[in-house]
Chain A
Amino acid sequence: MLVIKDLYAKVEGKDILKGINLTVNAGEVHAIMGPNGSGKSTLANVLAGNTNFEVTHGSITFNGKDIFEMSPDVRAKEGLFLSFQYPVEIPGVSMVNFLKTAVNEHRKYRNEKELSAGDFLKLMREKKAMVQIDSQLTNRSVNEGFSGGEKKKNEIFQMAMLEPTLAILDETDSGLDIDALRIVSNGVNLLKNKNNATILVTHYQRLLDYIVPDFVHVLYEGRIVKSAGKELAFELEEKGYDWIKKELGE
């Protein structure tokens, strides 16, 4: 589904990603961990097509297509979803209007008919229940005045609405309270099937109790320096990153 080969990227003239290789197949869950500033969000943004990040080398194919040929909105409609580490606020734009446009753009891209207002609201109710998001939030402007946790919940709600094939969750667990973490994880698990895949960016093993990864990768200074099964997360939780740095001879 996703094949990243020898990817280099920079921001503001500074090299951040320095040769990433990663393959994600349908049905898999990958966790990416790593110290602050190692390039996790950068990778997520490059995948989603944020033009602040300049790709200097390498290739990415998504569903067999060259991702660099696709604008960010086309990547989204191809099924790539990014749950932002810091979701932005869009004052005055109602969640309902925003999501209705988003959902219908996806449908148009697939040559499906746009949803009627009634069908859309029905879909919204269904998905709201799935992530147990407060109705009052969806009546407000996009993320405006939402608490940190509410914003994260709202990201997963949008994911539920759009049903992506590849979901990249950038620290969705940060800021969620204990109950919300369980609910959100549960939502993500419900959306999982053998045709889609998930990349979890997280700092904490705790999330991986709920959403069990098939692979755990450590991103360090722009490179994936270690990949293993879910047990790696426990090891990191226990020992931190120093031992990895040592292994790398630093």
Chain B
Amino acid sequence: MEDQNKLIHEVTQRDYRFGFVSDIETDTIVKGLNEEVIRIISAKKDEPEFMLEFRLKAYRRWLTMKMPEWAQLKVPVIDYQEIIFYAAPTQQAKYESLNEVDPELLRTFEKLGIPLEEQKMLSGVAVDAVIDSVSVKTTFKETLAERGIIFCSFSEAVKHHPDLIQKYLGMAVPYNDNYFAALNSAVFSDGSFVYIPKGTRCPMELSTYFRINAKNTGQFERTLVIADDDSYVSYLEGCTAPMRDENQLHAAVVEIIALDRAEVKYSTVQNWYPGDKNGLGGIFNFVTKRGICKGVASKIFWNQVETGSAITWKYPSCVLMGDNSVAEFNSVALTNNYQQADTGTKMIHIGKNTKSTIVSKGISAGHSSNSYRGLVRVAPKAENARNYSQCDSLLLGDTCGAHTFPYIEVGNSSSIIEHEATTSKIGEDQIFYCNQRGISTEDAIGMIVNGYAREVINKLPMEFAVEAQKLLQISLEGSVG
């Protein structure tokens, strides 16, 4: 027993494997936040007037808002005057080939295990890689362009498709939605934009690797995915961040709009630097993600594997507006050491015959705290709405905590809402069984945890699933008891 605890401890105490800082010249502006800074950001990006107005409106609103307080999260005070709100790699030229790209940057990608060339040639995945705030390289653009698919950085979209931006920006997440959404709306630097035209099935997974790089730079990504009538797209978001001491703020916004019969699958593997074993450092991850099933029979699927960040606050949600629309939230959230996560989803049923499914798998180890917070709301007019929720917690050791807060508000009596929840501890007998077959405790834990999360991992696109499995195992190195 002693030994096992020790081993479990060692397994979870392994250091973060993606911790390195790459040495790319970065063009940053002075730290701090005021209207002038926002004007500079907008000017640097050469934005049209409506964007500046959007930002300023959001900023002024943000000034009147207060940081939310949470029951289950302990968040240190954030000094916004100490944050640099804009950083872009200085080499901003558009490259024709990878040879022209800063070799240091390419090495960074390699360390992350995503050599662009290979991605380009082998996997058929178009990669819009965001280092800090400006998109550096976009691939497969031509193939996509042939079908009228737009996949580019947010800044480019603002330049080339201002009409789409103006129409949809803030539709799912209004600038005044919450404290961090307002902040993001004011200062967001870049992100990705996707538009799938009517009747088009995107032939490849669209993937963006985000990465916080410049020291002391808050990251404010903004992603907007629009799927027009009868279209389909699968979007992958993955990230790893380099190790550093100070806490870093990350407040992204993702908006999805699905029109009639459109289907959007949005998958995330999140591995921001979680801080060290003692809870020092790590990313603060305050994300607002929301999709609107705007059209009839539209579908939105959120799939996520969250292993990183010191503090995660995130509820990918869906508003099921269109009749017969369908939404799913499939999540694995793993916390270790002193990580804190408060995640879940909101499913808002407005249309008739709408259906939502929630599968949440929490894994807690070390001294971490892992909460599921979910809301299922059925509006009075949402006839025959259905929701099924399943929230499972797996505890590794007895110094961690898991909490479940399901909120249900039903305004229509024809709806059917089902909720199931379980909490279990990883079984010593399971570990011993694996040991007896020659499998080390470390591998056994990885295996058992992956088995537990399989239902969700299976929803991820293949190459992501493999990465997610490794990540779950790596993240637990040092943690079971």
Contact = CB atoms under 8 A, between A and B. Distances in A.
A141 B450 CA distance: 12
B436 interface: yes
Size category of the B interface is 20 to 34
A88 B429 contact: yes
Interface string A91-130: 1110001110110011001000000000000000000000
Contacts of A109: 438
Contacts of B437: 76, 98-99, 102, 105, 158, 162
B436 A52 contact: no
Contact of B436 (A72, A91, A99): A72
B433 A92 contact: no
Nearest to B424: A91
Interface stretch (A20-28, A34-42, A43-51): A43-51
Contact of A51 (B1, B427, B439, B453): B1
Interface stretch (B32-40, B254-262, B288-296, B440-448): B440-448
- Which among A48, A101, A109, A162 has the greatest number of chain B C-beta atoms within 10 A? A101
A105 B440 CA distance: 9
A50 B431 CA distance: 10
B454 interface: yes
Interface string B1-32: 11110000000000000000000000000000
Given A84-B433, A88-B427, A141 B438 contact: no
B399 interface: no
A228 interface: no
Interface in B448-469: 448, 450-455
A88 B431 CA distance: 10
Given A102-B439, A162-B438, A72 B432 contact: yes
A97 B436 CA distance: 16
A93 B448 contact: yes
Given A51-B1, A101-B439, A105-B438, 6 more contacts: A76-B435, A82-B436, A84-B436, A97-B447, A101-B447, A102-B439
14 contacts: A49-B436, A52-B428, A73-B441, A87-B433, A90-B451, A92-B451, A93-B448, A93-B451, A98-B447, A99-B437, A101-B439, A101-B447, A102-B439, A141-B451
Interface of A: 48-52, 71-73, 76-77, 81-82, 84, 87-88, 90-93, 97-99, 101-102, 105-106, 109, 141-142, 158, 162
Interface of B: 1-4, 427-430, 432-441, 443, 447-448, 450-455
